[in-house]
Each structure stands twice: as C-alpha cells, then as structure tokens.
Structure 1
Amino acid sequence: MTAINVLLQPTAAYLITDSATTDSNGVLIDIRSKVTVLSRFRAAIAWTGAGPIHAAGQADRRISEALVSKGVSSQAELLAALPLIAAEMHAENAAYIDTGHDTAVSVFVALWSKKRREPQLWACHGDQSVFGPSYVPYSMVRLRQYVTCPPDVDPDGWCRAAFGRVVDFADPKSFRPSVDGVALLEAQRHIREGIGVWGGYSVGGSANLTTVSAKGIRERVLKTWPDKVGEKISPAVT
C-alpha cells in the first residue's frame, strides 16, 4: 500500500504522501519521493503501482520521456496523455511480477489550471477498485479529495476515528495540510496489508507535502521516520 492523499482547498491542491517502497514481504527497499513535479505544466503527479522497474527515480524519467515522445505541450494534453502512460507502465509491470499480484498503476494529478485560474485534482487507475464499478480503467476523472484507507471500511468513519473528530478536508480551518497531514500519515502507517503477498506495513520513510497553487509548486518534508532499508517497517517506531 502506498499512502497517497489528495485534497482540494480554495487556493491550492495538495498531495500528502509517504516515501517508502517495500517488497512483497514488507521489507523496505527504497526511500524516495513518490511525486513527479512538472513545473512547466504547473502540475505535480503522485503515482503508485509502478514496480521496481520504475523505482529509484526511474518513474520521473519514464514519465518525462513519454511526455516528450507524445509531444505533450499543454495541461489538456498532459491530462490526456497520463492515462496512456500509466497503462503502458502497467503493461511493463507484467514482465517481472511473478507473485500473482496485479499492480495496476494509479496517477493522481494536482495542478493549477492556467485556463480557469483555479487548483484542480485529477486521477486515473488501472481497475475499478478505487473509483467504483462504473469507472472505466485508465480514464481520467476529476476529484475533490482521495484518502488512502484500509480496504472495506467507511472512509468517513475511518478518518473520524483517526483524528478523533469530523474532518472537512476542503476547509483549511478543519484540515491544515502541514499539520494534520502528519497525523493522517501516522494513522495510515498503522494499516497492515494482507498476509503473504504484499504483507506487513508499508507506509514510512517520510511524510511529504506537495502544494500546487498560483504561486507555483512547493515540496516539503513534514516528518521523517527512522525506517531502515533492508528491514521491515514497524509503525510503533515514531
């Protein structure tokens, strides 16, 4: 599981992510940002589902090369191209995944719309597990928020339990990304994944906040955890 949280507030779009990459046994194999910044498009992309072939910074290069090869030169063309790139990355995963676990690629985009002069969130995913049975895989949809939660739980109820109160992610007074983003990731750090394939805990490394607004794109590390490459993540260690 990758902790990717995206939310929209009146003046900015936010990506709140961890930076851990684990193997199928839950062992930490890399600590690196999961956000690709595309400054000339005033956009930032959070991605998950890409495997080792896209790790260690290769996803940034893979996406940048694909955008160049497809001749992308505008925000509209970017949003049209990203689902195609994600589908290509998903197909590449099949070459090395031998666990029977299909890692469909998710792409979450935070951008400042140059045309409408507003923050926006967009996303696509490789199956219907994220956006429901009516969703067409690898089609781009517009969002107001998305929060990573344990499977088969009520997201509102889980967030209420995590914060001890009702949270309105769209309200800067109710949810302060630079403060409450850490609390959100701390709660997600305790989500244990399935036994066997992709078992164990997988949220760690650091708590990262990416802000996209009219002022530009800002990346911040809000907190680091003492997780060590080569070892399993222990959520009790803060």
Structure 2
Amino acid sequence: MSAINAIVTPSASYMISDGLRYNNGEVTCVDYDKSFVLRGMRAAVAATGDAKTGHFFRAAIEGEFTHFEDVIAAGSEFFVEGFKAFAHRFCGGNAVSNAVLIGWLESENRPAAFAIDLQEGLGKWGGASRSVPDAQNGVLGEHPIIASPCPSLEELLAAQYPIGSAGDGVSPEAKLLHMLEVQRRMRADDGNYYVGGHALLTSIDASGVRQRVVYRWPNDKVGEVIGPERDMDWKAFRRELKGGRWRWR
C-alpha cells in the first residue's frame, strides 16, 4: 500500500508520495521514488500497487505522447488497456492500482490533477486481495484534491486535518505531508503499516517542474516492521505546519 496525494491551487499542482518498497510484507527500501516527471512535459505520474506500476506508466506515456493534453485526451482506455497488459505480464493477471497525474494544461494555461482506479482480475495490493468499486474502476477524472488511500472522515477529524479550509494559512505542501501522516497510521489489508520512508514532493507551475524529498521518517529501517509513532500530538503538529516551523528535510 503506497500513499499518493495531490492538491491543485490556482497557480500550481502538487503531488506527494511515500518511499517504502516491500515484498511479501517485508520492507526492502525506504527511499524508493514513486513519482516520475514525464520527459518533455510539465507533468508527472505516480501509481500505487506493484512497485513497477509507476515505472510502467511513465514508459508507456513517454512512448506515445509528447504533450500532457494528449495523455488526458487519450482518456481512460489508454490506462485501462495498458494496466491490463501490465497485470498479465508482471502480476499473474491480478493487480490493482490508483494512478495519479499532475501537470500544466498548456492550452488552458492552468494546473490540473487527474486520477484513475484500475483493477485487473481479483486484484492484489499489499499482499492481500482488494476490489475497486465498479463505479470508480477505469474512469479517468480530474480532481482538485486526491488522497490514495483515502482516510475516513473520523481519521481526518482525529488528526485535525484542515478539511475544506483553503484559507487556513497552511501551505499545500504542508497539507500533503499532513495527509501522509494520517495514511501512515492506516493498516493495510494484512494488518501491517506500509506508508513511510521518505516524502517526495513534486510541484508544477507555469515556470516548470520541481521535485525534492521534504521529509524522512527516521525510525523506518529496511528489514524491520513499520510502526507509526503513537505519541503524535496532532494539535502541535498542525500548529507547526500552519506557522511554517515544520522541520522540512
């Protein structure tokens, strides 16, 4: 279970992803990049599920398109058919993923973010079967906010996440990291935790694309079980984010 979140503002699109890679429940890497800038475009793609999924979509997109608008115009069919081929080649015909794209729409001169839920066969994610609702599966849609996996309302309220408060003084980058901290405490289907390692931020505006690691969870180690910090003071955490005092790394 990877975590990918995105936020769009009037001037930029932002995406953040965690850096854990694991095999059969065992963490094998804590600084694995899951978000990829698309060559020749002001755009980036990331995907949950099998660790190769994001690499696959980057190669597939770069092999067929030169403009972000063309990727979006290709629509759901491009991703559904591509994921079907990927699942049968690499995952025994059973895979599930959420693909996220952010970029700058040149023709409209604005930022945007898109997501699509994908499932082939029974689906396999994080070592356990998981289905995607029929109403969501295979539909590429534009969204101002994306959270994958999406926490429950109760989890967001408990973490004092700023729901629907665009003018609360918290930056988009801080909101994305806040969401990652919530997702870090969500158990996967097998009962384990799989969000952590590092937080890789991708930002895109009219001037171009930037990527940087903005945080690392120091307790996450290869070969060890991921255990989110239990003493999180959400009130203090949110106060630091809002005041711009968070220890970005």
Give the aligned partner of residue 209 of structure 1: 201
Give the aligned partner of residue 222 of structure 1: 214
TM-score with structure 2 setting the length: 0.74
- Note if contact 1:39-1:217 (Cα within 8 Å) is conserved in structure 2: no
- Note the alpha carbon deviations across 1:187-234, whole angstroms, 9 max, x for none: 211111123xxx411001101211111121111211111322222212
- Note if contact 2:18-2:198 (Cα within 8 Å) is conserved in structure 1: yes
Give the match's secondary structure for 1:126: strand
- Note the alpha carbon deviations across 1:68-121, whole angstroms, 9 max, x for none: 543x232232224575256434443345547x9x43132111111111011111
Give the aligned partner of residue 158 of structure 2: 161
Matched, 1:66 2:63: no
- Note if contact 1:35-1:47 (Cα within 8 Å) is conserved in structure 2: yes
Give the aligned partner of residue 134 of structure 1: 135
- Note if contact 2:47-2:100 (Cα within 8 Å) is conserved in structure 1: yes
Query: What are the residue-to-residue correspondences of 1:1-238 with 2, within 5 Å?
Result: 1-25=1-25, 27-30=26-29, 31-49=31-49, 51-52=50-51, 54=52, 59-60=54-55, 62-70=56-64, 72-81=65-74, 83=76, 84-85=78-79, 87-94=81-88, 97=91, 102-127=94-119, 133-135=134-136, 137-149=137-149, 153-154=152-153, 157-163=154-160, 166-168=162-164, 171=166, 173-195=168-190, 199-226=191-218, 227-236=220-229
Runs of 5+ unmatched residues, structure 1: none
- Note if contact 2:15-2:202 (Cα within 8 Å) is conserved in structure 1: yes
- Work out the CA distance in 2 between the residues paired with 1:68 and 1:35: 14
- Note the alpha carbon deviations across 1:151-188, whole angstroms, 9 max, x for none: 7x33xx4323212x54336x264441333333322221
Give the match's secondary structure for 1:202: coil
- Work out the CA distance in 2 between the residues paired with 1:97 and 1:39: 26
- Note if contact 2:98-2:116 (Cα within 8 Å) is conserved in structure 1: yes
Question: Aligned letter for 2:86?
Answer: E
How many residues align structurally? Answer: 218
Question: Aligned letter for 2:71?
Answer: L
Q: CA deviation at 1:47?
A: 1.0
Give the aligned partner of residue 238 of structure 2: none
Runs of 5+ unmatched residues, structure 2: 120-129, 233-249
- Note if contact 1:90-1:104 (Cα within 8 Å) is conserved in structure 2: no
- Note the alpha carbon deviations across 1:35-70, whole angstroms, 9 max, x for none: 010152210112112x25x17xxx43x344423543
- Note if contact 1:87-1:126 (Cα within 8 Å) is conserved in structure 2: no
- Work out the CA distance in 1 between the residues paired with 2:46 and 2:174: 20
Question: Aligned letter for 1:205?
Answer: G
* Distance change (3 Å), C-alpha of 1:19 and 1:231: same
Q: Among the aligned pairs, what percent are the same residue? A: 27
TM-score with structure 1 setting the length: 0.77
